[in-house]
Amino acid sequence: MTLVVNDRVQEVSTSTGSGPFVLGGGVTGYQTFSVGIGNTNSTYYTITNGTNWMDILGTYTSAANSITVDKILTSSAGGTTAVSFAAGTKNIFCTYPAATAVLAAPAAYPTVQPTLNLDFANSKTVDPRITFVRNNTATYYDGQTTAMAEQNLLLQSQAIGGSPWANNTCTSTLNSTVAPDGTTTASLVTISAQYGGPSLVVTLAASTTYTMSVYVLSNVGSNTYNLQVGGNISPAFTPTATWTRQVFTFTNATAGATNAYGIIDRNASGFGSVYLWGAQLEQRSAVTAYTPTTTAAITNYIPVLMTAPAGVPRLDYNPTTGQALGLLIEESRVNLLNFSSSFAASGGLQNNWLDTSITRTAAAFVAPDSTQVGIQFTASAANATVISTAAVGSSLARTFSVWLKRISGTGVINYTLDNGATWIAQTITSTVTRYTFAATTANQQVGFQIVTSGDSIGIWGAQLEAGAFATSYMPSVATTMTRADDAASMVSTNFSSWYNQSQGTMNVEADAYANGFRPMVTVRKGVSQNYILALFKSDQQPAVYINAVLSANLTPGTQIANVFGKLAWSQNGTVFTSCLNARTPVTATSTAAIPTMEALYIGASGAAGVVFLNGHIRKISYYPVALSSSSLVALTS
């Protein structure tokens, strides 16, 4: 958990009482707490209904989209007394209370202005003085583009004929037989007159395409039926003795709230009965996997995985919290799996994937790239299996990643990294989520099993990499896919214009997928072995090398993988002082003179024999003087 104070963060809330407060959406011109503060971070905020108010230190959690009351600083009730809010809309906004505005050592902050200030996360731009090279496309999240994922505009979709459904010249008996999902939630509908059947009022937009669907099973009679929304009527269908999903796509002509969704019998005589379950209405041109509803309609949105063109840097965002992560720097990797999103045809070998006891439904859900190409795999037997048959190389350090979602059933799968010799259990959720698994055996295939017969899961974006951690997705088809290095640097006058050779202070904030020799920034003399680099590592932060020999080594503390760390170091001649995350600074003296440096490499060790950060650079600033130890603490707090 990190204390975060940010500008223009404001939402509304209708929560009552004294907290926690569920957030109800951003205010125009302001950021949400999810974007501006971030999951599990604490902040100072004010809540007010225009009359009563509290200034609070609290913690935001994205799962509940709420903020806690950890400490009341002041309130309209006097002192630190809690206010119990009544019903109504309140405003909640990030603030900086006067009681906390004066920090422990305000004088410790630098009075000199930085000559370089690269604030990737907040400026959301890349300085034009940076030379950036990547020879092909690469994926990332831009923090703003979303796509509609699951949608069902019909209420009580598994209780057709019950409230708020209307029974028009028919009777409906709920929970009458086993439904396609194995529960006894299907309705028996008996129709007694022409045009009879259960219906539900929905609101439709004009000139808009919708897709409606329902599962149907015959009971008595062999009548034909139709699906109908307002004046839009599907072709007739005859239910069979097997559950069948009837799908009807149409473009609605007239907007209105009186359009009735119905399953109707249009025959003039010989009325019968039929089982119905899983009604769904979506505003799209093709049906997706069924999403159940109860008392409210469902429309879910997902962040879209974007593709940056070759040579374009990636300013990445956390897809769950929406937090700006900064400039993404990754080493070159290869997706060793072919056909990473299309997989195999059901019941055989195709596209280098082999499946057993699997029924495959194409275009079943919206994938992270916003296309409706996610595949549904349904198990027709226990431990139904999907395995890649592609050769995957000999490296033991390999990572398998794939987006999965539970469509129906338990969500329990087994995955394998050694061609089925070992199976490891994993429970997946109903949200499309990227799962990563570390491989331990060389020259084996990867895959998974659906444990329970009848369960369905969604799958997209399989990737196997030679490395101990997963990197951004590389979509592949008939051949493996390679992503080139991200190379960012400042050279020549773009470097010398702000760098002071005799003394200065470098301040950087970054994260990395894994701890180790992960350069955050490197100041270097050309392609020589003279350089100063800051590592995302438990030691050598920074390390000074002269003629390839370690001449100064500072160990200010331990970095944690996938957590942003703040590192600052000052140089005054041959004396270096370093501070990590406001810990006690450490000092070391170089055993050799420092040569004239010529370039800054961002997230890399240099231009030749380069090693990459594999993470994000949130901020880099440089001061042309050697700041004091107390200033280093202030910069990294």
> Cβ neighbours of residue 122 under 8 Å, at least 6 residues apart?
324, 619
* SS3 of residue 29 by DSSP: coil
**According to the model, what pLDDT value does residue 25 have?**
82
Residue 257 has pLDDT above 70, yes or no: no
Exposure pattern of 357-367 as b/e (b: 16+ CB <10 Å)?
bbebbebbbbb
Question: If pLDDT is split at 50, 70 and 90, which confidence band does 401 have?
Answer: very high
Contact yes or no for 372/457 (Cβ under 8 A): no
Question: If pLDDT is split at 50, 70 and 90, which confidence band does 357 have?
Answer: very high
> pLDDT digit string (tens) for 183-210?
999 999 998 888 888 989 888 888 899 9
Looking at the chain, the whole-number percentage of residues with pLDDT higher than 90 is 58
> Cβ neighbours of residue 434 under 8 Å, at least 6 residues apart?
368, 401, 402, 403, 461, 470, 473
Of the chain, the end-to-end C-alpha distance in Å amounts to 13
Say if 116-134+486-635 and 154-296 have the same CATH topology: yes
> pLDDT digit string (tens) for 448-482?
899 999 999 999 999 999 888 999 999 998 888 99
Give the phi and the psi of residue 223 in degrees, each rounded to 5: -65, 160
**According to the model, what pLDDT value does residue 345 have?**
57
Residue 496: is it exposed, middle or buried by C-beta count within 10 angstroms (0-12/13-18/19+)? middle
Any idea where the domains of the chain sit in the sequence?
10-101, 116-134+486-635, 154-296, 333-483
Looking at the chain, the whole-number percentage of residues with pLDDT higher than 70 is 93
* SS3 of residue 630 by DSSP: helix
CATH 2.60.120.200 fits 116-134+486-635, yes or no: yes
Instruction: Report CA torsion sign: 473, 476, 480, 483.
Output: negative
CATH 2.60.120.260 fits 154-296, yes or no: yes
> pLDDT digit string (tens) for 29-73?
888 998 889 888 889 999 999 889 999 988 898 888 899 998 888
Contact yes or no for 404/343 (Cβ under 8 A): no
Give the phi and the psi of residue 634 in degrees, each rounded to 5: -65, -40
> pLDDT digit string (tens) for 536-548?
876 657 888 888 8
**According to the model, what pLDDT value does residue 100 have?**
64
Residue 618 has pLDDT above 70, yes or no: yes
Structurally, at CATH architecture level, domain 333-483 sits in: Sandwich (2.60)
Question: If pLDDT is split at 50, 70 and 90, which confidence band does 105 have?
Answer: very low
Token pair of 431 as six digits: 């949200």
**How far out from the chain centre does Cα 41 lie?**
17
> pLDDT digit string (tens) for 265-307?
776 666 788 999 999 999 999 999 999 999 999 999 999 999 9
User: Taking the complete model, does pTM exceed 0.85, yes or no?
Assistant: no
